[in-house]
């Protein structure tokens, strides 16, 4: 059975836009089953809309990246919203980050992220973090 990994938006974006971390992320995830909260799907769209708005990419390049993202097999997990509110209150974090923490907890999987703040909170609640 393949290893399961909770993956966040930062790692997915790094892969589809060919950031320097891409080879490490591909190496870590090779042969694994990726899981994520359903919110990651919408965060991807939001990230590319922000890049277009800030003129960091073009519409065409963003569409190409979205096509690459859509080819990544990810099992989306429904997250309990009430328990994520407890995390947001305790750590003063955004709900989207709490969804990732909760996903890793619910699926008993390590977290793969490039977000230092999210990594810090994940470690503090006992979630294994895969370092890139």
Tokens for 19?
């950031």
Q: Give residue limits of the domains in the chain.
A: 4-130
Distance between CA 33 and CA 35 in Å, rounded? 7
**Mean pLDDT, residues 1-14:** 95
CB hemisphere CA count around 49 (13 angstroms): 6
Evaluate if residue 1 carries a pLDDT over 90.
no
Evaluate if residue 16 carries a pLDDT over 90.
yes
pTM of the model: 0.94
pLDDT in tens, 48-101: 999 999 999 999 999 999 999 999 999 999 998 988 999 999 999 999 999 999
- Class of residue 21 by CB neighbours under 10 A (exposed 0-12, middle 13-18, buried 19+): middle
Q: What pLDDT score was predicted for residue 33?
A: 98
Banded pLDDT at 18 (limits 50, 70, 90): very high
The CATH architecture annotation of domain 4-130 reads: 3-Layer(aba) Sandwich (3.40)
């Amino acid at each position: 059975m393949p290893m399961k990994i909770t993956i966040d938006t930062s790692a997915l974006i790094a892969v589809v836009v060919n950031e320097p971390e891409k080879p490490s992320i591909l190496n870590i995830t090779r042969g694994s089953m990726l899981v994520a909260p359903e919110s990651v799907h919408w965060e991807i769209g939001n990230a590319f809309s922000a890049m277009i708005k800030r003129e960091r990419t073009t519409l065409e390049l963003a569409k190409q990246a979205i096509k690459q993202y859509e080819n990544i097999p990810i099992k989306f997990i429904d997250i309990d919203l009430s328990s994520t509110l407890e995390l947001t209150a305790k750590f003063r974090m955004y709900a989207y980050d709490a969804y990732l923490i909760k996903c890793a907890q619910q699926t008993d999987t390590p977290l793969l992220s490039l977000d230092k703040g999210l990594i810090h909170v994940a470690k503090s609640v006992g979630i294994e973090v895969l370092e890139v």
